[in-house]
Amino acid sequence: MDKAKLKRSGQVLAPSLFTMGNMACGFFCLLACDINEYTTAATCILGGIAFDMLDGRVARFVHGESLFGVEFDSLADFLTFGVAPAYMMYGLFLKDYGIWGGIAAFLYVLGGSLRLARFNAVAQTGQGSKTHFTGLPIPAPAGLLASYVLLYEIVEQGRPVRTFGPLMREIPALAALGPFLVVGLGLLMVSTIPYAAFKQKHLAEGRNLKLVAAVVAALVLMYFYPQNTLFVLALFYVISGLMGLVIRRPKPQAPQAPDP
């Protein structure tokens, strides 16, 4: 193997290691669910999100983008953000609804798979947007469900953790919305609602002062209230697309008076 091919192999391998970490997180989430360790399962999903955020950036940094990397990343995402959250939610909540709980979990998995398939199809045509995603990107609902499970486990186990009191009081009540939440997230993934992608170059370089201030505030809150902040951030992103629809809805024009 010549030096050029060896260098190219190394460039492709570097981001693939992070994708492998993402896939490992999804696999160990499933194992944790089987022994009812749902805090561990949710943490694995959040770990997968961290790996998923890094693999693309590493690929661009080392110029290791490849068709193999795109397909491998999709397989890892399907396991960690599609199958694993549905399995976790079924084991913790949805199994109590019998066959309907199983159907709700499957609809989430189906929505995630269709979302990934559409994303890959659009990416191969080179027509993807750099400013927004079409439909809810699959890591977002996985992060929302994982952060919710972390809060639910804190309440159930009565662990002495610093939290937002008003939010924590509502966490057990939200469990009753489990099937609707899971199905709703599945539908958002296959919707055509635009969601911010945060890929613009000026954002990455930190020239947007509002974004920098928001990131700093989020990091401060993450330090003091990590579980609550993760849940609030994930929830805000999920509903941001719906809020955008309302904001962008054209206002009805007042009828004009007829000419005299």
What's the distance, CA 100 to chain centroid?
Answer: 24
- In this predicted structure, the answer to whether residue 216 has a pLDDT above a threshold of 80 is yes
Q: What percent of the chain has pLDDT over 70?
A: 82
Domains defined along the chain, listed by start:
3-245 (1.20.120.1760)
DSSP one-letter code for 177: G
Query: Closest by alpha carbon to 197, among 211, 183, 182, 181?
Result: 211
Query: Closest by alpha carbon to 200, among 212, 208, 188?
Result: 208
- The pLDDT assigned to 246 comes to 77
**Which residue is listed with tokens 């193997």?**
1
Query: Closest by alpha carbon to 79, among 55, 47, 53, 112?
Result: 112
Q: Which of the pair, 91 or 244, is modelled with greater confidence?
A: 91
> Around Cβ 74, how many Cβ atoms within 10 Å?
19
pTM attached to this predicted model: 0.85
Q: Which of the pair, 251 or 95, is modelled with greater confidence?
A: 95
Query: Closest by alpha carbon to 26, among 60, 73, 65?
Result: 73
Please work out, in degrees rounded to the nearest 5, the angle formed at the alpha carbon of residue 52 by the alpha carbons of 78 and 55: 120
Q: Is 99 helix (H, G, I), strand (E, B) or coil?
A: helix
pLDDT band at 174 (very low <50, low <70, confident <90, very high): confident
- The pLDDT assigned to 259 comes to 47
- In this predicted structure, the answer to whether residue 2 has a pLDDT above a threshold of 70 is no
Q: pLDDT tens across 141-164, in order?
A: 999 999 999 999 988 877 666 666
Query: Closest by alpha carbon to 221, among 152, 139, 163, 147?
Result: 163
Please work out, in degrees rounded to the nearest 5, the angle formed at the alpha carbon of residue 144 by the alpha carbons of 165 and 191: 135
Go through the chain and tell me how many residues it has: 260
User: What is the rounded distance in angstroms from the CA atom of residue 46 to the CA atom of residue 31?
Assistant: 15
